[in-house]
Structure 1
Amino acid sequence: MKPPAIIILGEKSVAIARQIQNTIPHAIIYGLASRTQSADRQYSKFSEIVSELFCQGHAIIGICAAGILIRSIATLLSDKRAEPPVIAIAEDGSAVVPLLGGLNGANDLARAIANMLQIQAAITTTGDLRFQTSLLSPPDGYRLLNNDEQAKTFLADLLAGKTVKLIGIAPWLSESHLPFADDATHRIEVISSKISLESIESQLSSTYLVYQTTLIDRSETGGKLSIIGTGPGAAKWMSPEVKAILEDATDFVGYKTYINLIKEFTRGKPVHASDNRVELDRARLALDLAAEGKSVVIVSSGDPGIYGMAAAVFEVLDQSPDPQWNQITIYVAPGISAAQAAAAAIGAPIGHDFCMISLSDILKPWEIIAQRLTAAAQADFAIAIYNPISTQRRWQLTAARDLLLQWRSPDTPVILGHRMGRKGENVRVISLSELAPELADMQTVIIVGSSKTKNLQWSDRQYVYTPRKYN
């Protein structure tokens, strides 16, 4: 696949271009030489670079008016099945409009960019709009065996009210808005790459579409394991990258409470939910599923690298490797942590040096926890405390408070963030001397200020912050 070309006319467009490049990492930014200094490559004439890249088969993403793109390639249009995607994006990122290349992924590319920009792509293709998929342009891993006329007639029939039955497995079809019915007049079948075209070609018609998988053996190529952080709970705190990963996933693995946070993405897909204390088993299951060629997501709340599932996966890979996992691609997608959410809700209590410590003694003894609390208190860090209490473990929070009081004033501000980003969210400020087990549970994150952390009453609100300067 040739790298998409992001074409800009001025330096003001560089920021959006880089955002798009982060979404499409192999894309190249082309900037007008007289107006840009930060592009990957430079050009002197807009129409010449657009027509040249278009003829070479590069997807064109122009951060400019749609008209200038159209005029640059108007004389080159001849075969819509061969034309690469051409997409116009407003300079301020307020609009994403696919202009050409709908049969070669323009709409999907536009949606990916729009998702990153947190807007809706201006899709105008009737089939895509109504059915939320493109029958004429299947995604990577599938190819349509019917000819153009058969496929166009099939689509026109569905738009006119005919129904369709799906035979075989293809998430991009089963999760679409196609008019499925068991007694349908039309059929779509998904067949293996091992079936020859000759054996089925005579059956193809305008009422029978066939898609063939193009991956010879997905277990040989390896799947993908994404370890994601949903953030504390609110959908608004979930990153666009994480949302895109969830939308593309074939399987979901995670603690059932965290799986419930993303249920809008799991409909119609396999979900492997489990208890909270089987992290290593969960990691092995996810790796095994990915080894089958699937796109698997392990779900953590907050950030997966902060007391989350990322470490569990790498621990399994390190301590009990399996050769079948060797071809898997592993990716960790960060999320907003509960400590960040609680801090933001009350001001800036971790605005200077801080650390995070878990009071759970399941994976480390209390002696180690106490040693780390002491070191952090002596060094005057603000401290975010995770897992402060459980039904069987209540004494540690009192012990931690007493230990910290050896190095902190009893009036030190303490923030209790409960169920951040979820129903029942509550943030309150107390003093260190008031900290007690009955004020917290496993869904509470506690931030203990440093010796410099201050309470601030401003207008009608209370804030807590730690000054940037330390004397």
Structure 2
Amino acid sequence: MNAPERLDATPSLGKIMLVGIGPGSVEHMTGRARDAIAEADTVIGYVTYIKLVADLLAGKEVIRKSMTEELDRAIEALDRARQGKKVALISSGDAGVYGMAGPTYEVLFQAGWTPDSGVEVEIVPGASALNSCAALVGAPLTHDFCAISLSDLLTPWPVIARRLDAVAYADFVVALYNPKSGRRTRQIVEAQRLFLRHRRADTPVAIVKSAYRRREQIQFTTLEKMCEADIGMLSTVLIGNSSTFVREGRMVTPRGYANKYESSEGGQGFEAREGEKAGRSLSTGLLGWLDGLHAEHAAGADVAELAQRHRLPVDYLCAVLATEESDA
């Protein structure tokens, strides 16, 4: 892999289109993604992704690269754009989510690129794996969630482990990308170990392989049994939070309506629970919680006890209480 040459300010060179092709089926590609590939002179991508859009590539220069050649793909795209070509550099899912947008901008900035350098850059968004896999299993991402890649090819394991531990403790729904490969088999085991420190063993887990592709496979399991499932590089693992449930073959994470509303008599509608107001923050929202915290502290509860009760840092509660007292 050679470093890119410096990019001098030149008007009207080519264009790089960073195209997210979605989960892999043409039906789930955006119209703009299809148009961008149609406009392109050259299409560059990982060999598997090139196969997914093969029907759209007639008459185009096609450059196939292997899994670990992301920077080479970006350099090829820049070289073709310098020649005045329109280049579609494709990623599965979304180009900005573990895709080619980041590596391409790294290469561009190393080459001295600016928006006025003559090479136009467009990012064409697509549905990421967490979107497509969630759609197949129900509604697991309805509340706060995050994505973590278990690939340690570029990220040190202690960094990944700290992130896993933090989100498990914070009760996020989590989408695990790159969970396992032929050579990387222990990472998913360590992820499970970290999650079990904070989550129930029966926490729902969904594993989706090749979403919307020919060999699509969906499995429902639990955190305790997760590592017994068939997991590979084409899998995305969705781990629920403490409220997530599976019913009728659908994994659902409640948004929290039950905290505020209850079904009216006869089940014909919903009414706000006692102490709650429709359209207003929960009684345990920020302002209500601050009032309660201040009252507990005034009644004699020390900060360490409050921190343990609310599972929040002591120094944060000290700062909150100090702010409340200074505002009084």
TM-score by length of 1: 0.51
| Distance 1:292-1:323 versus aligned 2 partners, 3 A rule | farther
Q: Does 1:315 align with 2:102?
A: no
- Counterpart of 1:386 in structure 2: which amino acid? Y
How far residue 437 of structure 1 moved from its aligned partner, in angstroms, is 6.2
Equivalent residue letter for 1:445:
T
Aligned 8 A contact 1:412 1:432 in 2: yes
Task: Specify every segment of 5 or more residues in structure 1 that has no aligned partner in the other structure, as ranges.
Answer: 1-218
Letter in 1 for 2:187: Q
2:77 aligned counterpart, secondary structure: helix
For 1:265 and 1:325, the matched residues in 2 are separated by: 31
2:32 corresponds, among 241, 246, 256, to: 241
Partner of 2:48, secondary structure, is: helix
How far 1:321 moved relative to its partner?
A: 3.0
Given the alignment of the two structures, is residue 367 of structure 1 paired with residue 158 of structure 2, yes or no?
yes
**Structure 1 residue 355, shift from structure 2 partner:** 0.1
Cα displacement string for residues 401-445 of structure 1 (whole angstroms, at most 9, x for unaligned residues): 011011111110001000111111011110110011652000000
Q: Which residue of 2 aligns with 1:281?
A: 72
Q: How many residues align?
A: 249
- Residues 394, 244 of structure 1: alpha-carbon distance in 2 compared, 3 angstrom cutoff: same
Does 1:465 pair with 2:252?
A: yes
In the superposition, the TM-score normalised over structure 2's length comes to 0.73
Contact 2:93/2:129 (8 A) holds in 1? yes
Cross-structure match for 2:58: 267
**Aligned 1:88-103 pairs, distance under 5 A:** none
Contact 2:14–2:118 (CA<8 Å) still a contact in 1? yes
Amino acid at match of 2:256: K
1:376 to 140, 153, 167: 167
Distance 1:277 1:379 in 2: 33
Cα 1:324–1:407 change in 2 (3 A) is closer
Mapped partners of 1:323, 1:357: distance in 2: 30
Determine helix, strand or coil for the equivalent of 1:222: coil
Deviations 1:48-100 (A, max 9, x none): xxxxxxxxxxxxxxxxxxxxxxxxxxxxxxxxxxxxxxxxxxxxxxxxxxxxx
CA distance, structure 1, for counterparts of residue 116 and residue 66 of structure 2: 24
What is the distance in 2 between the residues matched to 1:346 and 1:258?
23
Q: Which amino acid aligns with 1:439?
A: D
Q: Does 1:351 align with 2:142?
A: yes
1:440 and 1:289 mapped to 2: Cα distance?
Answer: 37
Superposed displacement of residue 279, structure 1: 0.6
Match of 1:409 among 194, 200, 205: 200
> Structure 1 residue 358: deviation in Å?
0.1
d(CA) in 2 for partners of 1:323 and 1:371?
Answer: 35
Deviation at 1:315, TM superposition (A): 1.3
Instruction: Return the alpha-carbon distance in structure 1 between the equivalents of residues 203 and 114 of structure 2.
Output: 52
Query: What pairs up with 1:375-394 in 2 under 5 angstroms?
Result: 375-394=166-185
Measured in 2, the distance between the counterparts of 1:347 and 1:254 equals 31
Tell me the equivalent position of 1:189.
none
Aligned equivalent of 1:224 = 15
Q: Structure 2 unaligned runs (5+)?
A: 1-9, 260-328
Whole-Å separation in 2 of the counterparts to 1:323 and 1:455: 49
Structure 1 residue 288: deviation in Å? 1.1
For the pair 1:301 / 2:92, whether they are aligned, the reply is: yes
Quote the Cα distance in structure 2 between the aligned partners of 1:362 and 1:317. Answer: 22
Higher-Rg structure is 1
Q: 1:397, 1:437 within 8 Å by CA — same for their partners in 2?
A: no
Contact 1:287 1:325 in 2 (8 A): no
Please tell me whether residue 339 in structure 1 is matched to residue 126 in structure 2: no
CA distance in 1: counterparts of 2:220 and 2:112, whole angstroms? 46
Please list the CA deviations of residues 219-268 of structure 1 after superposition, one character each: whole Å capped at 9, or x if unmatched. 74111110001111111100011111111111011111101111111112
Quick one: distance in 2 between partners of 1:283 and 1:333? 16
CA distance in 2 between partners of 1:256 and 1:364 (Å):
24
Partner of 2:262: none
The one-letter code of the counterpart of 1:464 is M
- CA distance, structure 2, for counterparts of residue 252 and residue 370 of structure 1: 36
CA displacement, residues 351-394 of structure 1 (integer Å, 9 cap, x when unaligned):
10000000000110110000001111111100000000111110
Q: How does 1:14-413 map to 2 (within 5 A)?
A: 220-321=11-112, 326-413=117-204
Give the counterpart letter for 2:245 in structure 1: K
Aligned residue for 2:285?
A: none
How far, CA to CA, are the matches of 2:53 and 2:241 in structure 1?
36
The CA distance in 2 between the partners of 1:378 and 1:411, in whole Å, is 16
Q: Is the 8 A contact 1:291 1:325 kept in 2?
A: no
Retained in 2: the 8 A contact 1:226–1:245? yes
> What amino acid is the match of 1:371?
R
Give the deviation of 1:281 after TM superposition.
Answer: 1.3
Question: Is contact 1:398-1:437 (8 Å) kept?
Answer: no
